[in-house]
Chain A
Amino acid sequence: MQVHPKNGGIRFIIRKDNKLYNSPMKTLICVLMIACFFSSSCQRVKSRIALDDQREKLNDVVQNEAPNPMELILLPHPGESKIDHEISRYQGKIRLSQNTFQSIEHLGWLYVAKARESFDPGYYKLAEQCANCLDSEQPQCSEGLLLRGQVLENLHRFKGAETLARELVAKRGLSFDYGLLGDSLMEQGRLDEAADAYQKMVNIKPDLEAYARIAHYRWLKGDIAAATTLMQMAVSASSPNAPESAAWVTTRLAFYQFQNGKPDKADQSCALALEYQKNYAPALLLRGRILLSEGKANEAVEVLTESERLNPLPDYEWVLLEALHSAGREQEAVSVQARLDKCGPSTDPRTYSLYLSTSGRSNKTSIELARNELSNRADVFTHDALAWALASNGNAEDAYKEMQKALVEGTYDGRLFFHATVIASESGHEVEAAAWLRKALVNPALLLPSEQKQLSQVQTLIGEAAKQKAVTESKTAALFMMEK
């Protein structure tokens, strides 16, 4: 219990004579305010607010000076949820210089929790500012490194997260440190190294965090049964005292159940996740997908509209769009598509690239988006996105090569199977295409309606090709017999 705060710490941090930041930040803020004016609608829902008012308020806050980290993390925090109250409570402690270092660290993790709860990545930035404050108090402290690493990971700066994780592992090697390392490696497609990190993590401390990560690893390796068992263990270790975590692992379990052809169980798990956390967007998204797969398009629209409202990302918009098309609600679809087209390239380029390729609107942009993503996040799904973009642009040969990279881990995923089918077929690998088709047809419910339609078309093509081949073969055989 460190009761004596380092009283000088706060004063040092909040003083406004930090020349290092002053000038560039002033310029940056001016630029950003202009940029915000034009781009704010592409930020999160909560950030879509009138900028005329913002400018004035912002001026009040920054008072023409660079905001320093301590001022930012102590900005009045609204909200009525438990996390909101906790954030305000810890801000109060910091203002009173109570347990300052620990309180800042705690506040940082509360901002991470808030980001997860609200799907508002702006809170990661506040968490990052907390890491800056920790660094100011104790340069290169492990607490600050872990917090910053978690922020970088969530902002998809995986290489940066890996660097910090390696530093932490060398410095102290706690289970969290290995977890962060494994996560950053996993996202970069370095599964073998990630497995080593996760093994160390679970050897030190088996718990929800470790079980959930190992479940995900097994799922990526195509072992859905083991993934389900492990995620069930994570669910057992969850608690309503940490509702977002409980909802998260329960929704992941639901996803595996859905993939395993058990939509009823999956829906039950979604219901449980929503008990933990009301209006939990990922659970609503999955529930919408289950409804859509059951042909209940209008019901799906209701659920998906809510999930998209809570988390307006391409993943959510695309599924909602499909549900609206299925329900024949084309007018509503127009505005959703407009949102998707406007924000997709910046908020989730990989999914947007997939969407473009699937919806027949593929162009150079979809390839560029996937390629850019690949430079940062070389996992199987980014390889798949690039392969699909290449195929959609008529480059079947390169698409086939890229698709092999997407399939290398054996991931059990309907969309991967669908893409593999089409790409193998288009690149002249008929036997492979037929094999992937069989896999894709095991549970076509995993695909969106438009994907199912395309799969059906390629199934017909493969069937006709097979029929054609059979006819040719039988004619050849007959000729051969006649010659004999």
Chain B
Amino acid sequence: MKTKVSRLTNTLVTLLIAIISTPVFASSHMDAPLIVLDPAANTTDVYAFVQQINGVKTLVTALGVYPFEEPGIGPNKYNFDDNVLYAIHVSIGKDVAAGLPTYSYEFQFKTTYKNTKTILQSYLGVIQDIGDSAQNLTQTYTVTKIDHHKNKSTLLGTGIVPPNNQGIATPYYNQGTNGNNPAIDGVATSDQLDRYTSEAITNFPSGYVAFAGQRDDGFYGDIEAIFDLLQLRSPGKDSQAGFNIHEMSLGIPISELGGDQQVVGVYATTSRRQVVVRDDGQKGTVTYGPYVQVARQGNPLFNEGLVAIEDKDLYSRTSPSQDKKLFSKYALTPELAHLLNAIVFAPNSVAPETNRTDIEGIFIPDLIKVDLSTGPCRLAGGGTNDVANPDDSGFSRLGIFGGDTLTSTVQAGFGNGTVPGGWPNGRRFGDDVITIAVTALSSDLRVSPPIIHGPYGDNVDSNDVAYNKVFPYESTPHNGRNFTHE
């Protein structure tokens, strides 16, 4: 039957070639593909939350790129791109409302090979320590702080990227130091981290701490069902389960941001270099232009879930300073609220569809607002039943909707300084951002006390693997040797 179908289709392909009277020529061999995604510059998620690290109150920030890294596809292909400028931006003071960066922390990578006269691109043997002679493809990075008000740039430090988790070549990522085993689960203390991750955490002067490398994708959600006409299912399916990403994490001492009595904003961008097409009379050289922003990410789901298709590219190219002008409409009148009413809640109309100043307050400008005056947030580990690495007491994936709150000394919040323990006050690993977002859209947070409906979600309530409760927080990357999707 399969053969018949195949032949039938080929018949029609043949026919189609001829239907239009012009001849079908050979491929020109010159055309590059026209529409391809740019995963190395494609941001997945941004995280920002308050923690104590090495006894220092710290704003932890993280940027994920390279969605859907298939662990089993091979070690050679997923790397940071030397030609991309990765930046985590922090806004303080008036810059928060204006959507302007006060400080930018730029990650730039450099790729080298210890031996190019071999086909063994990534590993020349079993890697004992990061950067050792067996780690052939090695990426190093610099982190540079840009102070936009003083127009000053400062090199904070350099780091080395640990290898991707391939299996036998990278045993220390995996349980029992055995490359055939799954990756080590999340841990509760720094000394329990796997060797590569531990070695790749770099302390910079002034209390900064940095990491860049492959991790599990800590986002969870039934994206397929959500974008399949909101036809949710129970149980939901974690679309990101089993995929890795590449992540940059930076712990910023709050003292470096002017102290903790403030709410700051965090977002991230990726930019690529322009080049000059024509040579400038000198053959062999490429003249580079400025970096051009190709992706932007602040709060989860804004561009993905609220901004219309025709403006998604515009969002990626623009600064949060333009959000009020360009994208407020998507927060004030969210189409998703209308769709929830039409598809999920019909015949009732639960979600207010217009004048959503509460939603606008979260998303416009699209910075993750973090109240630095609170104590450290509660962290997710492996759930409440994980004996070795339980969630912090009081942690709820639903944040404020699950009773997980913090106390602010700089804002009244929902009364007496009560602010959400997770997103949209910062964003932690483990925050169920889909359920929080849908619940927020379905509720009315404009009135006091707020009218809460829900929680409503996608029936995916946790990540596929446990998080670390220590820097860099994101889980160990899946083992490529024994983990692949069908």
| Interface positions of A (Cβ within 8 A of B) | 1-4, 28-29, 32-33, 35-36, 40, 43-44, 46-47, 49, 53-54, 57-58, 61, 67, 72, 75-79, 98-99, 102, 109, 112-113, 116, 119-126, 128-129, 146, 150, 153-157, 174, 176, 179-180, 183, 186-187, 195, 198-199, 202-214, 216-218, 221-223, 225-226, 229-230, 233-234, 236-242, 244-246, 248-249, 268, 271-272, 275-276, 282, 313-315, 346-349, 351
Are A32's CB and B309's CB within 8 A?
no
Could you tell me the distance between the alpha carbons of A156 and B25 in the complex, rounded to whole angstroms? 7
Within 8 A of A (CB), among B313-334: 313, 317
Q: Do B40 and A213 touch across chains, with their CB atoms under 8 A apart?
A: no
Determine the distance from Cα of A157 to Cα of B21 in the docked complex, in whole angstroms.
Answer: 12
- A98, B228: Cβ atoms closer than 8 Å: yes
> A53-B11, A122-B14, A205-B292 provided; 9 other pairs, C-beta below 8 A?
A3-B230, A125-B13, A126-B16, A187-B28, A208-B38, A222-B283, A225-B283, A237-B272, A240-B73
Give A308 Cβ to nearest chain B Cβ, in Å. Answer: 13
Taking a contact as CB atoms under 8 Å apart, the answer to whether B229 and A98 are in contact is yes
Would you give the 0/1 interface string for B5-32, flagging 1 where the beta carbon is closer than 8 Å to chain A? 1111111111111111011111111111
In the assembled complex, B285 has its CB within 8 A of some CB on chain A: yes
**Contact among A120, A174, A206 for B292, CB-based, below 8 A:** A206
CA of A202 to CA of B73, assembled, Å: 30
Q: How far is the CA of A112 from the CA of B15 in the complex (A)?
A: 17
Chain B residue with Cβ nearest A281:
B27
Do B275 and A202 have beta carbons less than 8 Å apart? yes
C-alpha spacing A252/B283, complex, angstroms = 19
Q: Please report the C-alpha to C-alpha distance between residue A153 and residue B313 in the assembled complex, in whole angstroms.
A: 24
Query: Given known contacts A47-B17, A129-B16, is B25 in contact with A211 (CB within 8 Å)?
Result: no
CB distance A78 to B6 under 8 Å? yes
With both beta carbons as reference points, the residue of chain B lying nearest to A282 in the complex is identified as B29
Residues of A within 8 A of B387 (CB): none
Residues of B within 8 A of A33 (CB): 15
A417 → chain B, closest Cβ, in Å? 17
A121 touches B17 (CB 8 A): yes
In the bound complex, do residue A176 and residue B34 qualify as a contact, i.e. CB atoms below 8 Å apart? yes
Given the known interface contacts A125-B17, A245-B33, A351-B26, the answer about A207 and B38 at a Cβ–Cβ threshold of 8 Å is yes
Q: How far is the CA of A129 from the CA of B16 in the complex (A)?
A: 9
Q: Is the CB of A225 within 8 A of B15?
A: no
Instruction: Check if A46 sits within 8 Å of B275, measured CB to CB.
Output: no
Interface contact A275-B74, CB-CB below 8 Å: yes
- Note all chain A residues with C-beta closer than 8 A to B289: 202-203
B25 touching A348, Cβ below 8 Å: yes
Asked if A207 and B272 sit within 8 Å, CB to CB, the answer is: yes
Question: Which of B440-458 touch A at CB < 8 Å?
Answer: none
Asked if A49 and B40 make an inter-chain contact with CB atoms under 8 angstroms apart, the answer reads no
Residues on the A chain within 8 Å of B286, using CB: 226, 229-230
> Known: A214-B275, A271-B119. Contact between A125 and B32, CB under 8 A?
no
B121 to chain A: closest residue by CB: A272
Distance to closest chain A CB from B237 (angstroms): 15
Q: Report which of B8, B229, B294 forms a contact with A205, defined as CB distance below 8 A.
A: B294
Q: Which residues of B contact A240 (CB under 8 A)?
A: 70, 73-74, 77-78
Write the chain A residue with the least CB distance to B336. Answer: A1
A349 to B23 Cα, complex, angstroms: 11
B347 at the interface (CB under 8 A from A): no
Cβ contact within 8 Å between B294 and A272:
no
Interface CB pairs A-B, < 8 A, 8 = A46-B10, A121-B25, A153-B31, A206-B274, A207-B36, A208-B36, A214-B275, A230-B275
Q: Determine if B283 and A226 form an interchain contact, defined as CB atoms under 8 angstroms apart.
A: yes
Are A43 and B39 within 8 A (Cβ)? Answer: no
- B284 near A: Cβ within 8 Å? yes
B20 to chain A, nearest CB (A): 7
Asked whether any CB of chain A lies closer than 8 Å to the CB of B464, the reply is no
Seen from chain B, the residues whose Cβ lies within 8 Å of a Cβ on chain A are 2, 4-20, 22-41, 66, 68, 70, 73-74, 76-78, 81-83, 119, 121, 227-230, 272-279, 283-286, 289, 292, 294, 305, 308-309, 313, 317, 335-336, 339, 342-343
Most buried by A among B82, B309, B317: B309
Asked whether, in the complex, the Cβ of A242 is within 8 Å of the Cβ of B8, the reply is: no
CB-based contact B33/A236 at 8 Å: no
Contact residues in A for B11 (Cβ distance below 8 Å): 47, 49, 53-54, 57-58
Q: What are the residues of chain A within 8 A of B230 when measuring CB–CB?
A: 3
Question: Assuming A241-B37, A245-B33, A314-B26, is B277 touching A78 (CB within 8 A)?
Answer: no
- Expressed in whole angstroms, the Cα–Cα distance for A154 and B16 within the complex equals 15
Q: How far is the CB of B72 from chain A (nearest CB, A)?
A: 11
Name the residue in B11, B119, B279, B339 with the highest tally of chain A Cβ atoms < 10 Å from its Cβ: B11
Known contacts A35-B18, A150-B34, A156-B25; is-contact A49 B278 (Cβ 8 Å):
no
Chain B contacts for A119, CB-based, 8 A = 27
Residues of B within 8 A of A76 (CB): 5, 8-9
The answer on a CB contact under 8 Å between B32 and A248 is yes
- Is A236 touching B14 in the complex (CB atoms < 8 A)? no
Contact B36–A236 (Cβ < 8 Å): no
Cα–Cα distance between A213 and B36 once the two chains are bound (Å): 13
Of A98, A155, A282, which is in contact with the most chain B CB atoms at under 10 Å from its CB?
A155
User: Which of A46, A123, A146, A239: most chain B Cβ within 10 A?
Assistant: A239
**A237 touches which of B9, B38, B121, B274 (Cβ 8 Å):** B38
Closest Cβ of chain A: how far from B254's Cβ, in Å?
A: 35
Separation of A347 and B14 alpha carbons in the complex (Å)? 14
Pair A57/B8 contact, Cβ less than 8 Å: yes
Q: Separation in Å of the A120 CB from the closest CB of chain B? A: 7
A154 to chain B, nearest CB (A): 7
Are A180 and B78 in touch, CB under 8 angstroms? Answer: no
* A203 partner, pick from B10, B30, B292, B313, beta carbons under 8 A: B292
Query: A206-B274, A223-B279 given as contacts; is B8 within 8 A of A236 (CB)?
Result: no
* Nearest B residue to A214, CB-CB: B277
B37 engages A315 (CB within 8 Å): no
A109 to B284, CA, bound (A): 35
A211 and B28 contact, Cβ closer than 8 Å, known pairs A36-B14, A176-B35 = no
Contact assessment for A54 and B24 in the assembled complex, using a CB-CB cutoff below 8 Å: no
Q: List residues of chain B with CB within 8 A of the CB of A40.
A: 14
Among B2, B8, B82, residue most surrounded by chain A Cβ atoms (within 10 Å): B8
CB distance from B136 to the nearest CB of A (A): 13
B39 contact from A78, A123, A199, A239, Cβ within 8 A:
A239
Q: A46-B10, A195-B278, A225-B284 are in contact. Are A125 and B16 (CB under 8 A)?
A: yes
CA A349 to CA B26, docked complex, whole Å:
9
Minimum Cβ distance to chain B for residue A96 (Å): 9
Residue numbers in B under 8 Å from A208 (CB-CB): 32-33, 36, 38
Once the chains bind, are A179 and B17 in contact (CB under 8 Å)?
no
Question: What's the least CB distance linking A189 to chain B, in Å?
Answer: 12
Cβ contact within 8 Å between B305 and A54: no
Contacts of B5 in A (CB 8 A): 76, 78
What is the CB-to-nearest-CB distance from B9 to chain A, in angstroms, rounded to a whole number? 6
Give the Cβ gap from B473 to chain A, nearest Cβ, in Å.
Answer: 25
User: Which residues of chain A are near B25, meaning CB under 8 Å?
Assistant: 121, 155-156, 347-349
Given contacts A49-B7, A313-B26, whether A206 and B272 have CB atoms under 8 Å apart is: yes
Q: Are A226 and B33 in contact (CB under 8 A)?
A: no
On whether the beta carbons of A276 and B77 are closer than 8 Å, the reply is yes
Complex contact A3–B229 (CB within 8 A)? yes
The chain B residue sitting closest to A124, CB to CB, is: B24
B81 x A125 contact (CB < 8 A) = no
User: What chain A residues lie within 8 Å of B18 (beta carbons)?
Assistant: 32, 35-36
Nearest-neighbour CB distance to chain B for A437, whole angstroms, equals 22
Which residues from A are CB-within-8-Å of B308?
A: 1-2
- From B30, B83, B284, B317, A186 is in contact (CB under 8 Å) with B30
Shortest beta-carbon contacts, A-B, top 9: A122-B13, A125-B16, A212-B32, A348-B26, A225-B284, A206-B272, A54-B11, A47-B14, A78-B6
Chain A residues near B24 (CB-CB < 8 A): 121-122, 124-125, 155, 347
Decide: A239 and B37 in contact? CB cutoff 8 A. yes
Per the bound structure, the CA–CA distance linking A346 and B278 in Å amounts to 35
CA–CA, A217 and B227, complex, Å: 40
Q: What's the nearest-Cβ distance from chain A to residue B40, in Å?
A: 6
